[in-house]
Structure 1
Amino acid sequence: MVNLYQYNTKTMKYLSYWDRIIPILSIIVYASGIFDFNIFGQFLVVALLIGSILSAVHHSELIAHKVGEPFGTIILAVSITIIEVALIISLMLAGGEKAMFLARDTVFSAVMILLTIVIGICIVIGGFRHFEQKFDQKSVNTTLVSLVAILVLTLVLPNFSEGGNYISFSKPQLILVSLSCLVIYIAFIYIQTIRHRNYFLTEKKSEEYTKENSSLILNIIFLIISLIITVLLAKTISPTIENYIIEANLPHSLLGIIIALVILLPEGIAATKAAYKDDIQSSLNLSLGSALAAIGLTIPSVAVVSTIFKIDIVLGLNNISMVLLGLTIFTVMLSLSKGRTNILYGVILIILFVTYVFTIIYP
């Protein structure tokens, strides 16, 4: 009986390191290429993908607990954005007939996912559990002003630009817009972390990770590892998903939304958990901040690559997408204008996401 108890104790101790074991195991499986052999390998990849996402969420929460807000949410948002940018650039350099649309479609998908389904689910879950949730309206206004300016400059203005071909910029215009994105994002980070940091602070204190003894550096390392392997595994299963999409006669652009959903899952889960714990401020910091990082860092990076390697890129949205983007921004601004949440706002945002996906399938 004593030996069995000791065995169980050791087993539980090893299982407590799941957040480190799973990313490492995922790397081994990815390097082995087992997913190419049979359907079991595909199921294994999906299981490890989910485990890696949960590991990323776990380490991001540990980091947020140790460094405090808003630095925790910034680290997660920037980490995912950097890896997303690396994936976009690698696919652009690989070429293909749709490479020129890749940056626009990925950025637009990420923004729509974060502003509609992520914020919508957070508001609904938080509303059902806590009735009304309060947040600092100044933090939301600061982020939305920055986000709206960048969105219009990058995704709408190209359609009215005579310097390019009405859907893309000329080189001087692209340089100007890229610099504008960087300046706006840097100014926002300065406001968020130094000048008006109090706008983004939360009053909620989590006791969930007080017994965690791992170092901050270790958490950051495993967060990055988890995010990298998440992107690689998502890229691995994308051909299988693509085959299902083709067999179902669905638009190819639907694949981009599915991959974006997978990549943004760590942020979505972290934001939802915060709302469930009555910390809607952290949810909004993460969702809106991630949307701003997704476009504010991606467009300048893509601009540099397209200029160096002479790759044409298209940034202007089509008419349906522009209408949906405008409606989404307007709805988010109205929903978050009073500093209190309401379940109705969340339901409407979720419906906008469903509409967005529907218009891709049935344009």
Structure 2
Amino acid sequence: MPSPFPLRRVLTPVAIARLVIGWGAVGALAAAGPLLAPPVAGPVLLIVLAVTIVVILLCSFGVVHEAEALARRLGDPYGTLILTLSIVTIEVVLIAAVMLGPGDHATIAPDSVMAVSMIILNLVVGVCLLLGGIRHGDLRANRTGALAYTTLLVVLCTTAFALPAAIGADGAYTPVQALTVAVMTVGLYGFFLWRQTGAQAADFQEVASPAGTDIGAITGQQTASTGQQTASIEQRPAIGAGITAHRSEPLARPALLIVTVLPIVLLSHDLAALLDDSLGRLGAPVALAGVLIAMIVFTPESITAVRAALGGQTQRVVNLCHGALVSTVGLTIPTVLVIGLLTGQQVVLAESAANLLLLGITLALTAVAATSPRVTAMHGAAHLMVFGLYALVLFS
């Protein structure tokens, strides 16, 4: 019989404070709605925008905390997948809120997803590899799992950003093309999740190897050896056993996670309107809205990835960063295409030549790191330079 799980370990004072602040902000913005109708005084607009961003970040950290607690109970890749899907859901909601809000936001989806790609694959991965490489010397991930992520990213990013310019109209897919792409994208992402949490779960777990040993070689030897295959399968996390052993906690934490996510969803509409007004007054680049959304949403997960890198958990960094981007493209693009079809909006996905070039360089660096026997701080420095080039292009 599993021991009873005390609810107070989930519903902590900090968790209660997050709920009070999050839902309090929702109520306050709803009550102040008429007062925030444009035009709003500049200082008031900035204060409300800053408070809204802080509350969303606070609730996001709460979501990450609950997801990480589940990750510890269920093990990888299940735990990291819960964390990734929680964060990506928030991003999809924010983008959808901007699309359905006032103003013309035909490019918010590619702007946001491109920003996520550059921030995660270059800024976050760059910092992780740089700091982790300096602290631990060589970093080694599970090559098969890392290459699986890279394979999906090449296909999904090409479909999202390059193909619309070649076969679409004015950088957007036609309705038939949009529906076809949405279905195929969801199908590929669903198949990936099925394999990641099933037959290939071991490919996304940390691989401990002797110093100087090529992990790719170890992975190949495991695949070739039936006995080693059996051992690898036995090491997979028993998710059913984890749920049975901690029956109350796997039920209580998702409930708290959902209640913590809801204020983010409700505040997202106000954030979209406030961002639109603020950037319009500043004359900032339109793509900056997507960058801000990406930075707001992925700050908690980025901190988690850096902590994992400092702890030498290279595969966890890969699962968090590459998994987040696969989920972002696999869920965001179909969502915005469906919204476009339902609302009659034109969803422009085609990216500029400069961004496509930077994305190609980023994916090439990602593939090189995934196939390298030794990943060092030099790989991280290269990724950070590409992110600097992206910032240069953004403000040019």
Larger mean CA deviation between 249-258 and 127-136 belongs to 249-258
Secondary structure at the residue paired with 1:334?
helix
Counterpart in the other structure of 2:393: 359
The residue that corresponds to 2:323 in the other structure is 289
Distance 2:19 2:373 in 1: 38
Determine the structure 2 residue equivalent to 1:143: 149
Equivalent residue in structure 2 for 1:131, among 127, 137, 140: 137
Whether the 8 Å CA contact 1:19–1:58 is kept in 2: the answer is: no
Distance (whole Å) between structure 2 residues aligned to residue 96 and residue 40 of structure 1: 22
1:178-257 aligned within 5 A = 178-202=182-206, 215-230=249-264, 236=270, 249-257=283-291
Cα distance between partner residues in 2 of 1:21 and 1:213 = 25
Q: Give distance in 2, aligned partners of 1:292 and 1:27.
A: 31
Q: TM-score, normalised by structure 2?
A: 0.77
| Percent of paired sites with the same residue | 25
Contact 2:305–2:317 (CA under 8 A) maintained in structure 1: yes
Match of 1:53 among 41, 48, 60: 60
1:36-51 maps to which residues of 2 (within 5 A)? Answer: 45=52, 47-51=54-58
TM-fit CA distance, 1:173: 1.7
- Call closer, same or farther: CA 1:147–1:43 in 2, change over 3 Å: closer
Q: Which residue of 2 aligns with 1:30?
A: 26
Alignment check: 8 A CA contact 1:83 1:227 kept: yes
CA contact (8 A) 1:234 1:259 kept: no
Aligned to 1:4: none
How far residue 314 of structure 1 moved from its aligned partner, in angstroms, is 0.8
Give how far 1:330 is off.
0.8
Q: CA deviation at 1:333?
A: 1.1
Instruction: Tell me, in whole angstroms, the C-alpha distance in 2 between the residues paired with 1:305 and 1:40.
Output: 31
Q: What is the rounded CA distance, in whole Å, between the counterparts of 2:72 and 2:247 in structure 1?
A: 12
**C-alpha distance in structure 1 between counterparts of 2:10 and 2:182, whole Å:** 47
Amino acid at match of 1:123: L
CA distance in 2, matches of 1:296, 1:15: 33
The alpha-carbon distance between structure 1 residues 226 and 118, as it changes in their structure 2 partners (threshold 3 A), is: farther
Structure 2 residues not aligned, in runs of 5+:
1-8, 37-42, 209-245
Q: Distance between the aligned counterparts of 1:334 and 1:182, measured in 2?
A: 27
* Conservation of the 8 A alpha-carbon contact between 1:136 and 1:339: no
Q: CA RMSD in A?
A: 2.9
**Secondary structure, aligned partner of 1:100:** coil
CA positional deviation for 1:287: 0.8
Contact preservation (8 Å) 2:93, 2:268: no
> 1:80·1:227 contact (CA, 8 Å) conserved in 2?
no
CA contact (8 A) 2:128 2:306 kept: yes
Task: Decide whether aligned partners of structure 1 residues 269 and 309 sit closer, same or farther in structure 2, where only a CA change above 3 A counts.
Answer: same
- What is residue 17 of structure 1 aligned with on the other side? 13
Instruction: Render the CA deviation track for 1:160-180: whole Å, top value 9, x for unaligned.
Output: 11xx32511122222222122
2:212 is aligned to none
Measure how far apart 1:336 and its partner are. 2.4
1:152-163 equivalent positions in 2, closer than 5 A: 152-161=158-167
Cα offset, 1:312, TM superposition: 1.2
Instruction: State the Cα distance separating 1:261 from its structure 2 match.
Output: 0.5
Q: In 2, are the aligned partners of 1:130 and 1:278 still within 8 Å (CA)? A: yes
In 2, Cα distance between the equivalents of 1:282 and 1:251?
34
CA drift of 1:275 comes to 1.4
Q: Which moved more, 1:213-222 or 1:320-329?
A: 213-222
Name the aligned partner's letter for residue 348 of structure 2: V
SS of equivalent to 2:106: helix
Q: Aligned residues, how many?
A: 340
Tell me, in whole angstroms, the C-alpha distance in 2 between the residues paired with 1:178 and 1:40: 38
Residue in 2 aligned with 1:103? 109
Q: 1:19 to 1:213 in 2, by over 3 A?
A: farther
When residues 213 and 51 of structure 1 are mapped into structure 2, their CA distance, relative to the original with a 3 A threshold, is farther
* Corresponding residue of 1:62: 69
- How far apart in 2 are the matches of 1:291 and 1:285? 10
